[in-house]
Amino acid sequence: MTVPEKEKMVDLFNKRWMTHDGLWFYQCLQELGTEKANRINKAAIKTLAEIEVNRIKKFLGVAGERLNTFVEFKNFLANVSEFFIPDFMNASMSFPEDNVLHWEFKSEECFAYKGMQSMGVINDYECGVIYRVECWIGNLGIPYDINPPVKKCLMIDSGKCSGDFTLHF
């Protein structure tokens, strides 16, 4: 037996995690309805983000430290993005200017959009993907603005999902 390449392993683990996440949401949806499933999903994301950020900071050897500059934030995200944003998610993050984190999903290719669409709840789904990024930034203690504000899926009306976080250091 050969050991798979790191990229393939990361992809497998993330697909497994996202499948669990989607099925968990689906079961909540079936039992409790869309409104409660969205509320529980966001509560779980918020709690998870705090744990994730702390574990990642410990892994990177910066536990207990605050990210005080945009460069520190960029380095932090660069060090973990390959583990949390695999290719199948069809997402990209970039830094088009100082203090700006730009996100973009391939048109109508967001994994969450496709999953919620297949469940028939896309019009009522509150985006957990961008909310997770918001929670990460918040747990890093970085004030920010987001444009456009995201609650419901942005792809519903335009087929596009992109925007900017302006970070305030």
- Using DSSP's 3-state secondary structure scheme, residue 66 falls into coil
pTM for the model stands at: 0.91
Q: Which tens digit of pLDDT belongs to each residue from 17-62?
A: 889 999 999 999 999 999 999 999 999 999 999 999 999 999 999 9
pLDDT at residue 105, rounded to an integer: 95
The reported pLDDT for the residue numbered 82 is 79
Beta strands (DSSP E) in the chain are 91-94, 100-105, 144-147, 161-167
Check whether 168 has a pLDDT greater than 80. yes
3-state secondary structure of 46: helix
Higher per-residue confidence, 150 vs 18: 150
Burial class (CB in 10 A: 0-12, 13-18, 19+), 37: buried
Say yes or no to pLDDT of 3 above 70.
no
* DSSP tag of 151: S
In the prediction, which pLDDT does 132 show? 95
Assess whether pLDDT exceeds 80 at residue 1.
no
Summarize the confidence of residues 123-143 as an average pLDDT: 96
Question: pLDDT of 66-115, one tens digit each?
Answer: 999 999 999 999 988 878 887 888 999 999 999 999 999 999 899 999 99
For the chain, list the domains and their CATH numbers: 6-167 (3.30.1380)
| pLDDT for 155 beyond 80 | yes
Percent of the chain with pLDDT over 90: 73
**Radius of gyration of the chain from Cα atoms?**
16
Query: CA 80, 86, 90: angle at the middle one, nearest 5?
Result: 125
